[in-house]
A and B are shown apart, each in its own frame.
Chain A
């Protein structure tokens, strides 16, 4: 007679992994004592279970090399051991304290290191960072201009490494200036380095400038509307 047991695989799996209840176990046992098909499959699965129990992951690596097997097992076991690891509370507190101290001290150290680099740079290029008396006096003077700019960037003494973006806006209620702006960049010795004519309200200078102090002016056809200064640091 053919075996008509439904869900045989599931019953076998549950039987071997202790998931069946006591009456279910006995019922299945009474069945496989007289059913060769079920018994053969049960024997096979029991053998597989024993192999897995005794050999662990190695049983699944039949085709692989021995070294690969060993390394894989070691890594797998290590991962599981790590997952099961539960540290004592005092270690957790100590670890947390170390992280807190590091998270506070590292940014301070980085900042100090950066500032020391800047100081070093200033010492190396001391000549290029010396302010121009003429330009600085001009910046201190207040003068009346027909065209008033607002939201001017870069702010005075801003620091740059490479690209410099110049921006400005005309104050409202003023008569709009429709001509070209002339943007000039000077070094600290008052030499003109660059000269650009700008139609819009912004301009980006992509040319690399060596570290030092720089001045810049923005002029209309009639007058100078802005004078500012900025630093270029070592990129």
Chain B
């Protein structure tokens, strides 16, 4: 497959193409992608055993390319592959992947009886 940079670029091209395909397929992709994320969250919580926030965050780190840091009721997304792709200019801010991850996270937190609101790479849990 060549060197790492070329490989990385090819995967970023595929992600960009997927983002663009979803936008073309669903004109109202934002709401749609939140639902797609929630469906995946529903599948993921079947395999999650944790009943508290810290345990759940650890399990989330295992099943998604993200890293979290908890500050009481606020969870800061320390590492997120989607944010990296935005910062690198691969995809734009108005992408389909952020609503997907928002839907996913909110559904996962519902499994431990909490409500999660995701905004600006932060999750507020109630």
Is B one of A's binding partners?
no
